[in-house]
Amino acid sequence: MTEAEEDLHCWVPTSAPRPARCAGGLSGHSVAVKDMIALAGHRSSYGLAAWRATHPPSETTAPVLERLLDAGAAIAGVGKLDELAYSLEGNTGEGIAPLNPRYPDRFAGGSSSGPASAVAGRAVDIGLGTDTAGSIRVPSAGCGLFGLRPTHGVLDTTGVLPLAPSFDTVGLMCIDPALLAQSFAIACGDGTDRPRREISRIRFPRDCVSLACEEAARAIRSTVETLSEVLGCAVDTSFAFADFVSDESASMFANLVDREIWQTHGAWVREHRDAFHPLIAGRLRHAEKVSDMPADQQRAEERTREVYRERMNSIVEDGSVIVLPVMPHLPPSRHADDAELAAYRLTTFRLTAPAGLSGCPQLVVPTSGRAFGVGILAGHNAESALLDAAVRYADSGGTQSLRPRRPATHGRRFVT
């Protein structure tokens, strides 16, 4: 580990770098693996020393990671994450919170904070993480990266510790969108072409921009203009999206996610309540509470989710994409108090809810200058169109200040 990598604080104490084991399309590239994705012989922490102490090492490697390794990638290390992957801030994992290389005085964003820090700090080329409620999209936006939350179920979650299974996805982060596209294609691993979809229209709901600070709103408008130019698409600004990012939708999303979290981990949490950061402990108490809601209320929320999903699909099924903020402003200060963190989380949760509730893919592209991160949400299985748009957007100069300064060759030190 180099001194620069130590300064990132991105690796877990038991980080397990592995050399490339073969040549392939990802030869010369390295991966940071979120410490909830199985790596044979490694004992995952799930963000908690107590989890590591009470669970055995993995006997196998997660298939999605195997595919990257089979393509010639090396593992540079295992990255930190927030406890139980249950945070959007990047502030509750083991030890010192990972550095945000783009904004060192701010958190990296969670829960995939370690891989995001490693990619943004150029210690690796590819960050492999997960996204349940924003855990790829938020750190990507906060650290100035391209990040993809794919269509729910597209990437294999076998060997990935569950949080809320009907929302969990595996996702990827890169500085270079072309490498992101290549890595995603390899991670799919089915040997077939993904469905080809063209982006026909850009929907830009101005009512959602009010959730972002003015500087972020200007950056988003500029990004929309650039996307319209490079894609040759009209922009529909008449589209209203407030119902999809309302407090009611966010509350339903939180209840559904929290209920699944408690169903998945409640028994272990009851035995290890003292192991958690106070912020996470509070969320787990809420998860326990909503799991005890009357059955008819739970069924009503599930029905509302289905209606939400159907409405969203009807909007994007014609090839439209929706451009939204990912966060209201830059990530929180590393000195933010609990009230500031709560306000940030609440607004961010509203903005990340649409992809989670609908199962649709969402791609984060960084803006030039101060990187706020813009989310482009599309219909199911439209990843190829999103990734093509990201490459064209970057090539147009939309993220000129964020493009790699040199070829990503540092992973070669692991090649045997």
Q: Any idea which residues carry the catalytic annotation? A: 34, 111, 135
Angle at 173 (CA atoms; ends 404, 213), nearest 5 degrees: 90
Residue 365 CA to residue 258 CA, distance in Å, equals: 28
Q: Which stretches of 213-335 are DSSP H helices?
A: 214-231, 247-271, 278-291, 295-316
For the chain, helix, strand, coil in percent to 5 are 45, 15, 45
Q: Which residue is associated with the tokens 């959602």?
A: 208
Closest CA to 117 of 132, 131, 103, 130: 103
Are the C-beta atoms of 347 and 328 separated by less than 8 Å? yes
Angle at 370 (CA atoms; ends 3, 30), nearest 5 degrees: 40
Q: Is 130 exposed, middle or buried (0-12, 13-18, 19+ CB in 10 A)?
A: buried
Q: Tokens standing for 337?
A: 């108090």
Are the C-beta atoms of 122 and 410 separated by less than 8 Å? yes
Number of H helices, E strands in the chain: 13, 10
Residue 177 CA to residue 185 CA, distance in Å, equals: 12
Are the C-beta atoms of 208 and 325 separated by less than 8 Å? yes
Q: Please measure the distance between the N-terminal and C-terminal CA atoms of the chain and give it in whole angstroms.
A: 17
Q: Tokens standing for 84?
A: 């139980």
Closest CA to 161 of 170, 173, 149: 170
